[in-house]
Amino acid sequence: MLHFPRWKILLITGSCVLFVLLAIPSFLSESTRNDIPDWLPHRAVNLGLDLQGGSQLLLEVDFDAYMREQLTNLVDEIRVRFRAQKIGYKGLSIAGGKVIFALRGTPDAEVEKVLEGVNSDIDVTRTGEDYQVAFTDRWKKTSKSQILDQSLEIVSRRVNETGTKEPSIQRQGDNRILLQVPGLADPEHLKALLGRTAKMTFHMVDESASPEDIARGIAPPGDRIVPGDERSADKNGGTPRRYAVYSHVELSGDMLVDAHPAYDQDGSPAVAFRFNAAGARKFGEITAANVGKLFAIVLDDKVITAPVIRSPILGGSGIITGNFTAQSANDLALLLRAGALPAPLRIIEERSVGPSLGADSIAAGTKASIIGIGLVVVFMVVFYGLFGLFADVAMLVNAFMTVSLLSLFEATLTLPGIAGIVLTVGMAVDANVLIYERMREEVRNGKPPYQAIEDGFRLAFGTIFDSHVTTLVAALILFQFGTGTVKGFAVTLAIGIICSLYTAVLVTRLMVVTWLRKTRPKVLPI
């Protein structure tokens, strides 16, 4: 226990110096950190919303809008099936969250057989001549949970791609998402990105529809009228152009695997995209069969562009042109990469936390930390003398190690996180107290200094290890089941526990052994 080979001494000393260097940028101002050369450590701990201010958004998933879309798709599917089977019907529409229709002389058994093939998650009821088709309660419950999980993932992608550091994204209830973005003073751009569903589909344009009917909103059978986006208004006298597109979706945007800002042949901003293998094959077939026709790209029920297919596009990639700016092209590429939201998101609550509140929290936390650490330092020196001073040095190393690891892991430090650091600093000297008290017992039993020190470290290790493991398990449970600031506390506690074990077992022992070899005392100053 008292033998340290040279390589181990260099490893422990070098690691302590490295951790101190990695922690220093966290104690410097941002302007000072920017002046640090790139080859030196300059990464600092990310501060949470309660420490540096920022924005908080409470988002609600509009499941009703998703249900309306699914019912509309169900109506289209039923219409197609009935026409294919030549089944007469009337009044096919949506009412009260259900699809309703009546038959025209078709046997009931044949109709029910057709409906069973439409979707296995529907219930069909009949009242007189009227039929009602609705999704099952089990399907609704499952879909609601899946939509919220998918929305969480897509919100995370969109927020992270904006360059925002350490956002907190939490599920709240069965239809809400709590988003906290530290350091974001103006959330308007983020709100615009989150508010867009970004559902992209590709449709052929019905060029046989007359401009007069399109202007009056009259669509031929199998078509729908879709307006152009705001950019088309600039080229159409201030009014967005309207298109008659076939309702059938030729290709869906969920087959996209990449999208990034680009430039067209004129040097104007554009968006380049690429499909997966299945999408590329389908895209090639569509463009080969429709050369010379208009091909509309629809995003969130607006036509962003409708180019003419000049030739078959067989490579599975293309470019979206229009009256883009560099920012709008980048935003569209971001949305397409992140994926479409399965249902719209509504911002039902918005809060902003000013930096002054965070500054007060930091000042209070710093004051409490200094007082707590100062009292611990005094206590250890008074009760254990020189060995207490060794423990204090190890405690400071532990604090630097914790801060440096938080910065390396890009963890977010919150006010409860500061409490976790203070707690682990206290636990760091607690391990030394166990070791020193064991040494005192061995001295009282008549053992010489060398043997007392060796037995103190060896016999106390089991107790220290058990106590640290049990605290680490508690921290992991807090992280697994906690939310928000509770997780922040758990992270700092877990990191501090590991650092405490390292400093108590290795750093303190190295200092004690180095002193022992140089002084060779007859009596331990403890």
- pLDDT value of position 107: 61
- For the cut 90, the answer to whether the pLDDT of residue 92 exceeds it is no
- pLDDT value of position 163: 56
Is 379 inside a domain boundary?
A: yes
Is 327 inside a domain boundary?
A: no
Q: Can you tell me the mean pLDDT for 436-459?
A: 89
- pLDDT value of position 2: 64
Number of domains in the chain: 3
Q: Can you tell me the mean pLDDT for 403-430?
A: 80
Of 135, 153, 174, the residue at which a domain comes to its end is: 135
Give per-residue pLDDT as tens, 96-133. Answer: 888 888 877 656 667 777 777 777 788 888 877 788 88
234 and 290: one domain?
yes
**What is the C-alpha separation between 145 and 127, in angstroms, rounded?**
32
The answer to whether 85 touches 77, Cβ cutoff 8 Å, is no
236 and 383: one domain?
no
508 and 376: one domain?
yes
Give per-residue pLDDT as tens, 177-229. Answer: 888 887 776 677 777 777 777 778 889 999 888 888 888 888 888 888 998 87
270 and 361: one domain?
no
Closest CA to 108 of 93, 95, 127: 127
- For the cut 70, the answer to whether the pLDDT of residue 237 exceeds it is no
Q: What is the DSSP letter of 505?
A: I
Per residue, the 3-state secondary structure of 143-195, as one string, reads HHHHHHHHHHHHHHHHHHHCCCCCCEEEEECCCEEEEEEECCCCCHHHHHHHC
Query: Exposure of 483 by Cβ count < 10 A (0-12 exposed, 13-18 middle, 19+ buried)?
Result: exposed
- CATH code of residue 20: 1.20.1640.10
Give per-residue pLDDT as tens, 265-295. Answer: 878 888 888 888 888 888 899 999 999 999 8
Is 147 inside a domain boundary?
A: no
- pLDDT value of position 179: 86
Is 156 inside a domain boundary?
A: no
211 and 280: one domain?
yes
Give per-residue pLDDT as tens, 468-513. Answer: 899 899 989 988 877 666 777 888 888 888 898 898 888 998 998 8
470 and 364: one domain?
yes
Stretch among 84-93, 190-199, 311-320, 339-348 having the lowest mean pLDDT: 190-199
Q: What is the DSSP letter of 294?
A: B
Instruction: Compute how many other C-beta atoms are within 10 angstroms of the C-beta atom of residue 472.
Output: 17
39 and 101: one domain?
no
Average pLDDT taken over every residue of the chain: 82
301 and 363: one domain?
no
Of 135, 165, 185, the residue at which a domain comes to its end is: 135
301 and 429: one domain?
no
Instruction: Find the farthest-apart pair of alpha carbons in the chain and give their distance in angstroms, rounded.
Output: 111
**What is the C-alpha separation between 436 and 442, in angstroms, rounded?**
10
Is 177 inside a domain boundary?
A: no
123 and 261: one domain?
no
> 390 pLDDT band (50/70/90 cuts)?
very high
The answer to whether 168 touches 180, Cβ cutoff 8 Å, is yes
387 and 494: one domain?
yes
Closest CA to 468 of 503, 440, 441, 511: 503
- For the cut 70, the answer to whether the pLDDT of residue 359 exceeds it is no
> 233 pLDDT band (50/70/90 cuts)?
low
**What is the C-alpha separation between 284 and 313, in angstroms, rounded?**
5
Instruction: Compute how many other C-beta atoms are within 10 angstroms of the C-beta atom of residue 205.
Output: 20
- pLDDT value of position 165: 55
- CATH code of residue 238: 3.30.1360.200
- pLDDT value of position 205: 92
385 and 491: one domain?
yes
- pLDDT value of position 1: 56
Domain region containing 294: 200-317
| Encoded tokens for 32 | 């000072």
Is 446 inside a domain boundary?
A: yes
**What is the C-alpha separation between 435 and 515, in angstroms, rounded?**
16
Is 150 inside a domain boundary?
A: no
**What is the C-alpha separation between 28 and 34, in angstroms, rounded?**
10
**What is the C-alpha separation between 437 and 199, in angstroms, rounded?**
67
- CATH code of residue 117: 3.30.70
Q: What percent of the chain stands above pLDDT 90?
A: 6
- For the cut 60, the answer to whether the pLDDT of residue 234 exceeds it is no
Is 162 inside a domain boundary?
A: no
**What is the C-alpha separation between 105 and 88, in angstroms, rounded?**
7
Of 287, 317, 347, the residue at which a domain comes to its end is: 317
Rg of the chain taking only CA atoms, in angstroms: 33
